[in-house]
Amino acid sequence: MLLPLAPAHVVPYITAYAEEGLLPAPLTYRLGRPGVAYEDETPYDRDGFGALWVRPQLRPEHRLRTPRLQEIHPYRQRRVMLNGLCQVCTRPAADRDGATLYLMRHTGGPITSGEQTSSPPVCVPCAALSVQLCGALQQSRWVAAWVGSAPAWGVAGLVHDPATLRPLPGRALEMVSYHSPAVAWTTASRTVVELHDVEPADLEAEWEAFGAERLEEEFARVAGRRATQEARPPRR
């Protein structure tokens, strides 16, 4: 199917912005158990599984002006991942049968059951936007699948040396299971889920069934959401 042209200014919800840096948070040793902690830690610094998270700024949408399209905001990624929301528009990504759509770069094979990912789900119309606008998907082929369940598996973050509390050298974000001892020494930036009940998705057929007119309407809705946010006057 020849897709309607995607509006060029669409910014996915999970995108990080220049106006939202990480807040400084000096590390120390956790009291009473192995692992890292913040010197001024609060209950909001850990997720429900006990992992310590980085502290990203979270500014009102009308203050966001400079998207960093190659970067992901930790809080927004965590929110859509745990709630099965589309990473672009935040609508539920599940279909009428309850399966959730995942779209990823092709790395040599299809998406499989038992696979772990930090890439949040996407709805059918926003999948059509993503394959046109996402540089990572354009540089390689992509694969898609309907997923029956995606329970939390762990986090992706920086693993720290227990002796020095410095990030281990030569490592970027590393996926760490909640069951691994390394998670206690990790500052998390992404939620990682494990995919189960996976069935390949024929996106061409999904888009064909959706129809070009409806896709154009959805494209306009997603683009209009951001335009409306930018037009809002600053709040006092």
Question: Which tens digits make up the pLDDT trace of 26-64?
Answer: 999 999 999 999 999 999 999 999 999 999 988 887 778
**206 found inside a domain:** yes
DSSP assignment of 130-143, as one string? HHHH-HHHHSS-EE
Counted domains in the chain: 1
SS3 helix, strand, coil % of the chain, rounded to 5? 25, 30, 45
Q: What is the mean pLDDT of residues 85-98?
A: 91
Residue 140 pLDDT exceeds 90: no
Residue 197 pLDDT exceeds 50: yes
- Single pTM value for the model: 0.91
- Residue found by looking up tokens 């410095």 in the block: 166
What value does the mean pLDDT of the chain take?
90
Strands 36-38 and 67-72: unpaired
Task: Report the pLDDT value the prediction gives residue 61, as an integer from 0 to 100.
Answer: 77
CA–CA separation, 105 and 112 (whole Å): 13
**5 found inside a domain:** no
**45 found inside a domain:** yes
46 contacts: CB under 8 Å, gap ≥ 6: 52, 53
State residue 9 phi and psi, 5-degree precision: -95, 15
| Residue 85, domain extent | 15-231
Q: How confident is the model at residue 233 (pLDDT cuts 50, 70, 90)?
A: very low
**9 found inside a domain:** no
Q: How confident is the model at residue 9 (pLDDT cuts 50, 70, 90)?
A: confident
CA–CA separation, 13 and 107 (whole Å): 25
DSSP state for residue 107 in the 8-state scheme: S
Show the tokens assigned to 175: 């996926």
**4 found inside a domain:** no
Own/partner contacts of 4-7, CB < 8 Å, gap of 24 or more, are 4/128, 4/212, 4/215, 4/216, 4/219, 5/132, 6/128, 6/129, 6/132, 6/133, 6/219, 7/219, 7/220, 7/222, 7/223
**172 found inside a domain:** yes
Show the tokens assigned to 30: 């956790």
Q: How confident is the model at residue 108 (pLDDT cuts 50, 70, 90)?
A: confident
CA–CA separation, 100 and 102 (whole Å): 7
**2 found inside a domain:** no
**199 found inside a domain:** yes
Q: How confident is the model at residue 141 (pLDDT cuts 50, 70, 90)?
A: confident
Q: How confident is the model at residue 15 (pLDDT cuts 50, 70, 90)?
A: very high
**What is the gyration radius of the CA atoms in the chain, in angstroms?**
19
* H/E stretch holding 153: strand 152-159
